[in-house]
Amino acid sequence: MKPKNQRLVLVVAAIVAVLIAVLLAMWGLKDRASYFYTPADVVAGKAVQGQAMRLGGMVERGSIQRQADGVTIRFVVTDGKARTPVVYRGIVPNLFREGSGAVAEGRLENGTFVADTILAKHDERYMPPQLGNLAAEHKAGKTLER
């Protein structure tokens, strides 16, 4: 290969590599990104059944029900406007409790959210950003109710 050609080939190879990366990423992101929905979005029909997604909101007070096998729980996630039932099999994270924020990863099946993972906020200082506004809205809503 002549030096001139060599540089050209290298430049073309680099551009092709970047293009391949972008195309592959676009292809992958098209149906593998999991969107974040609130119960209101679910009610509005934004979430597709069976597709991987995240559901975020507050765990409704009094909604956590332990199932007979001891490791499955059912609870309701709410954003103040709508409610979505969730079922989860596993050990819940340590800061998962009623009246506090949680994000569940999983999919919708017949109106129930089947969670693979539950992420709770780590402590008062570590709030998922997606829940940041929600918590404020929730509080504001409550004060209004009163």
Partner 1 sequence: MIAETGLAALWLAAGLAALQLVLMVLALRSDLEVGRTVRAIAVVQGALTLVAFAMLLLVFARTDLSVALVFENSNVAQPFIYKVAGTWGNHEGSMLLWVAILSVAGAFLAFLSRRTSERTLVAALGAQAALALGFYAFLLIASNPFARLDLNNALFTGALNARGLNPLLQDPGLAFHPPTLYLGYVGLSVAFSLAVGALLTDQVDAQLARAMRPWVLGAWVLLTLGITAGSYWAYYELGWGGYWFWDPVENASLMPWLAATALLHSINVLAARGALKAWTMMLAVIAFSMSMVGTFLVRSGILTSVHAFAIDPERGTFLLALLAIYVGAAFTLFAVRGATLKEGAPFELISRETGLVINNLLLSVVLGIVFLGTLYPLFVEAVSGEKLSVGAPYFNAVAGPLALILAVLVGVGPLLSWRRERRPVFKQLTIPVLLGVTALAITIIVSPSMTILPRLGLTVATYLAAASILPLLRRNPLRAPLATWGMVIAHFGIAVALAGMAMNAAFTSERLAVIKPGETLDVGPWTVLLKDVTPGAGKNWTAVEADLRATRGEKITVLKPQTRYFSNPPTETNEAAIETFWNGQLYTVIGKPDPSGGWQVRLWWKPFVTLIWTGGALIGFGGALALLGRLWRRRRRRSDWRKERYV
DSSP H or E run through 9: helix 3-32
Q: Is the dihedral of CA 47, 52, 56, 62 positive or negative?
A: positive
If binding is defined by CB under 8 A, does position 17 make contact with partner 1?
Answer: yes
Phi and psi, residue 25, nearest 5°: -65, -40
Cα 129 from Cα 98, distance rounded (Å):
19
Q: Which of 22, 44, 136, 140 binds partner 1 (CB under 8 A)?
A: 22
Nearer to partner 1 by Cβ, of 123 and 145: the residue is: 123
Cα 79 from Cα 140, distance rounded (Å):
12
The token duo for 3 is 């030096």
If binding is defined by CB under 8 A, does position 12 make contact with partner 1?
Answer: no
Q: How many residues interact with partner 1 (rule CB under 8 A)?
A: 47
If binding is defined by CB under 8 A, does position 125 make contact with partner 1?
Answer: yes
If binding is defined by CB under 8 A, does position 27 make contact with partner 1?
Answer: yes
Binding site for partner 1 (CB under 8 A): 1-4, 6-7, 10, 13-14, 17-18, 20-22, 24-25, 27-29, 32-36, 52, 54, 66, 69-71, 89-92, 94-95, 105, 122-130, 132
